Amino acid sequence: GEQVEQRPPHLSVREGDSAIIICTYTDSATAYFSWYKQEAGAGLQLLMSVLSNVDRKEEQGLTVLLNKKDKRLSLNLTAAHPGDSAVYFCAVRAYQGGRALIFGTGTTVSVSP
């Protein structure tokens, strides 16, 4: 089945810097990709989703890149601010037996002033 790896596990950046998180997946048939943000003790907030026919998507200081050839998905937090401090998860949509999402292992992002 689909496997998703995410790196780095931890990321510390200064306010105004960029933070990049990368996920790799194994199933070339995967067609839907999402990024979620989880603040301490909270549920998951959907940040952005892309279909496999999209290479790049930008919204509100976030950039998602999809490289289908390398099966790599990335999230770039441009000009990070302290409010971006959270755990970020990538997720790919899977269809085996009705499974909804397969998640990466998460990246803890800390943004210092």
User: Which member of 84, 89, 109, 111 binds other proteins (CB under 8 A)?
Assistant: 89
Residue 74 or 106 with smaller CB distance to other proteins: 106
* Interaction between residue 10 and other proteins (CB under 8 A): no
Among 43, 59, 70, 83, binds other proteins (CB under 8 A): 43
Token digits for 71?
Answer: 């099966």
Candidate list 44, 57, 65, 68; residue touching other proteins; CB under 8 A: 44
Q: Is 36 in the site for other proteins (CB under 8 A)?
A: yes
d(CA 55, CA 108): 25
CA distances from 15 to 2, 33, 82 (A): 35, 27, 7
Work out how close the CB of 24 gets to other proteins at its nearest, in angstroms, rounded to a whole number.
15
- CB-based contact 20:112 (threshold 8 Å): no
Site residue total, other proteins (CB under 8 A): 26
**Among residues 32, 65, 72, 85, the one that binds other proteins under rule CB under 8 A:** 32
In this structure, what DSSP letter does residue 2 have? -
- Do residues 21 and 106 touch, judged by C-beta distance below 8 A? no
Sole window of 10-18, 42-50, 57-65, 70-78 interacting with other proteins (rule: CB under 8 A): 42-50
Task: Name the DSSP class of 13.
Answer: E
